[in-house]
Amino acid sequence: MKKIKKKHRILMAGLGVLAAFSTIGAVAVACNNQSKNRQLYSNGSTTLDPKQVARTVALVNVNDLHGAILENVVNNKIKKDGYGMIRVLNDINIIRQRYGKDNVSVVLGGDNYQGGLASDLTHGLMAGKALALLNPVESVVGNHEFDWGLEYLDPKHPRTASNMALAKQYMSLVEGPNDQGFQTFAQTLWPNQPKKKFLAANIFKKGTNELVDWVDPTSVIDFNGFKVGIVGLATEDTVRTTLFANIKDLDFGGKPENLAKIVDHYAEKLIKEQKVDTVVVLSHSFANEYELTRKRGDKTEVWRDGKVALKGTEGEAVEIIKNMTSNNVTAILAAHSHKLVNDKMRNKNGHQIIVAQGHSKANTISELRFNLNHENKLLWSEMIVNPRLSTAGEIDGTHFVPEADLLDPAKNKHYDQNLLAMKKVLDQAKAIEDKLDQDVLVQNNPTELKREYFGQGAVGSFVSDLAADNLKYKHPTTGIEKPVDAVLWNAGGLRADIPAGPITKKDILTVAPFDNFFIMGEISVADLKKEFSNETKGKAPFGGKLRITKTNDGITKIEKKQEDGQFKELNDNDTVIIAVNNFMWTNGDGYTFSKTLKNVDSRYDQDFENAIKYLLIRWLEATPAEKKEKLMDKYQNFNASDRYIDNSTKTPAAPTK
């Protein structure tokens, strides 16, 4: 398979992002033989004649892997974060054998690295090595690709020594050359292509219309004469979901109408200059499903077809499509919201465009098929959001196929040597995680602690209370130290449940994977009410001495626990001491703590070893066993209303990740 790439550096300052998704199933796109620019979409129309198909080529998209490279199987049931890269590779082998190796290309939808423990601790190295074995031809830039700093994307960017300090001890366990523990993401994915770059047509140097020099806006994949143009788009949501310090010199393109102009421009450029047959947008933007409703008399009800609720699709990707004019785009491959979506939407001209996305952590992958005739012309396209191809009945455990069978050539007709190479990489990752799982911090946690996006959650309460018990605020002028009244997290800053049984270092590092730091300061109760009322990206779990009450008007009451155990309501002009992470302090997720937090104590924001996740571990190590036992008892029959009284009736929107 021949691959051509051409850079286009232009001119549209302040444009930026894309993506998509919607319902499960296959979406078919009929192509008028007279003009491939006029595509008619149908759902399995009988006018689509399989006998005319000479060959099929396919783009396989793996989006939002989040470093989840190891399987997680309990009683022959695959957990939602544990399909595992052995099965992902075998799925792709099945597709390649179905259509021929040269007729299938793998692309990555971004957020490739952050999330899985071994990948986190090696700053993406383990996930990169596993993904490289899929032989991806392109990857778009996700918002979490910025988590460890620009040096992982821009080879010219200065390396941050403290950023690497603890990561190196884990990187040293990984076999193979890694430049003393450091590789850019591109170097790991494409070790034999030193000039290869990620895709993004909308990451600009701040205040300019010039693309950064570590991305390409487009590429062309040539399937032996059938050419697919690719336009890359990062999500504009990056500005709200990423540590400000890591993106302060970048712009992401702004509103959907601006992003639509970017897509239109590059799509037409690819058609005219590269003579591609169709264009696909590889993006890290979001879309979500919602249930359609209709009026029945005085009532509003869910619109159903029989018992099935009808659904629509909304979000950034949909708004981009609505503002597009190009009729040369077949599909947008999407990411970011972790939702399964397969739908079609119309642009300004009425041209329909597929929007699709697989689940996060490779639970499902999306397969865009182009069915061609004997003259290499497109007959129709179809999007399949794949069921898991390498096992069956995984929901109830029946017909479960273990990884060992996939690694046995006698049992797996899709076996190849890459599966063994993948096992070698995963064995290294497992060794890292097993080492951490042996370090027990709490001997017994009687019941599973749940993490919630739109609720207080036992996990959020546990880690927040632990921090509140140990942090000491130091006034920057007087030097006087005081305990903090509350510790707040952003909803997306906590990423996992804590299972019943012993709590290990692995558990804590999985719950709080980011390299964030605590920022402490004083805040008025009036300002804190406003901050708590921000649910743009979910509720802020918190711990400490405060209790809040929410109504439809937002947070209307904040109380503080007194020494006698009773709560006293605070006035708006009262001041409390809180701690937040540096992501929230730099206005991540729509918070405004950079303005509302006064007399800031940022002592912890100095050294990588003081990252929140490592402080949590050290605090648990220093806590006497008896006290830890009492601490865990506190969360066994957890009741969020002990600290968060919710009297509202509004339903919040689904957050993006």
Element (H, E) at 162: helix 161-164
φ, ψ for residue 266, nearest 5 deg: -70, -35
Q: Which CATH class is domain 439-646?
A: alpha beta
From residue 190, alpha-carbon distances to 323, 331, 636 in Å are 35, 25, 47
Output the pLDDT for position 586.
Answer: 85
Q: Report pLDDT digits (tens) over 603-622.
A: 886 667 788 999 999 999 99
Residue type (1 letter), 117 = L
- Residues of the chain with pLDDT below 70 are 1-47, 160-182, 293-296, 302-310, 387, 392-399, 536-537, 605-607, 650-657
E-strand ranges in 395-545 read 440-445, 472-474, 481-483, 486-488, 501-504, 518-524, 542-544
How many other CB atoms sit within 10 Å of the CB of residue 126?
31
Output the pLDDT for position 638.
Answer: 86
- Separation between Cα atoms, residue 371 and residue 31, nearest integer Å: 10
Q: Are 515 and 148 in contact (CB under 8 A)?
A: yes
Q: Which residues contact 210 (CB under 8 A, 6 or more apart)?
A: 9, 204
Output the pLDDT for position 9.
Answer: 31
Q: Domain boundaries in the chain? A: 2-431, 439-646
Q: Which CATH class is domain 2-431?
A: alpha beta
E-strand ranges in 32-86 read 39-42, 55-62, 73-74, 77-78
How many other CB atoms sit within 10 Å of the CB of residue 288?
23
From residue 115, alpha-carbon distances to 218, 397, 514, 523 in Å are 28, 26, 8, 32
E-strand ranges in 165-287 read 198-199, 204-205, 215-216, 218-223, 226-233, 250-251, 278-283
φ, ψ for residue 311, nearest 5 deg: -130, 155
- Separation between Cα atoms, residue 29 and residue 27, nearest integer Å: 7
From residue 380, alpha-carbon distances to 325, 371, 376 in Å are 21, 6, 12
